[in-house]
Amino acid sequence: MAAELAPASNPLIPAAQDALALRRVFEQIHADSCPTSFNFHMHTVNSDGQLQPERLVQQAIAIGLQGLAITDHHSVNGYRIAHRWLEEQPCEERDRPLPHLWTGIEVTSLLLETEVHILGYAFNPENPSMHPYLLHHAPKGPNADAEQVISAIHQAGGLAVLAHPVRYKRSPEDLIPQAAQFGIDGVETFYAYNNPNPWQTSPEQTLRVQRLSAAFNLLNTCGTDTHGLNLRQRL
């Protein structure tokens, strides 16, 4: 059973920045949520992906996604283009309901002197705290510290998530507790580490991350980390 998309929590907050609604979705995410109901990790040509933002959203609609986030590296340009395309679609010509698109980004940072990637969701990209992370390149100096990245996302009203925790040089048993201490909201629990076809979350790594997320009361997310032309695959 797919996780249910939460209704808007505050009509005064733009839907793309509704962190409370997104939190409710994350609370229901499970191994079968991705890639046909939700997908919170995808890239466009605005960073290192191959899909144009409009084509990404069109494919998301065809798949039947209820909610998604475009998480280009250090850029929200892909999100902006996709959001504008969705806004321009006439209601009377829609064959399927449009998915809920949240703001998203992937930021390279340092955690325990290890390079990691932090995903940001449902933040206000106009908030000054996010400016160092929207320059199309990895941040440097203090801005690269994971604690600072997490803080910046929170200041902009968003949620911070540690991407693919089992891909780094240090173990998730080291990284996740430290990220939790810095206030991270969640971890990308459901992830395909060996690019299987069809896409499916890696069982051993998933269980490992689930145990840690439960121990530190963190949210669980899912995503294909798509860089190619198929939202059901990573590459």
Q: Please, what are the domains in the chain?
A: 15-222 (3.20.20.140)
Place of tokens 């940072």: 109
Which pLDDT tens digit goes with each residue over 211-227? 999 999 999 999 999 99
Using CA atoms of 42, 44, 48, 50 in order, give the dihedral in degrees to the nearest 10. 110
Rounded Cα gap, residues 109 and 186, in angstroms: 16
Whether 103 and 158 have beta carbons less than 8 Å apart is answered as yes
Q: Name 199's Cβ contacts closer than 8 Å, sequence gap at least 6.
A: 34, 35, 192, 224, 232, 233, 234
Six token digits for residue 130: 């996010």
pLDDT at position 128 over 80: yes
pLDDT at position 187 over 50: yes
Q: Whole-model pTM?
A: 0.95
Residue 152's φ and ψ, nearest 5 degrees, are -65, -45
Rounded Cα gap, residues 52 and 97, in angstroms: 21
Six token digits for residue 64: 């039947």
pLDDT band at 1 (very low <50, low <70, confident <90, very high): very low
Q: Which of 48-52, 88-92, 123-127, 155-159 is the least confident region?
A: 88-92
Which pLDDT tens digit goes with each residue over 5-14? 655 667 778 9
Of 48, 37, 94, give the one whose Cα is nearest residue 71.
48
Whether 157 and 127 have beta carbons less than 8 Å apart is answered as yes
Rounded Cα gap, residues 168 and 41, in angstroms: 17
pLDDT at position 91 over 80: no
**73: DSSP letter:** B
The chain-wide mean pLDDT, for the chain, equals 95
Hey, is 111 helix, strand or coil?
strand
Q: How much is the pLDDT for 98?
A: 92
100-123: average pLDDT: 98
Q: Which amino acid is at 216?
A: F
Which pLDDT tens digit goes with each residue over 225-234? 999 999 999 9
**217: DSSP letter:** T
pLDDT at position 2 over 60: no
pLDDT at position 4 over 70: no
Helix (H) or strand (E) holding 86: helix 77-87
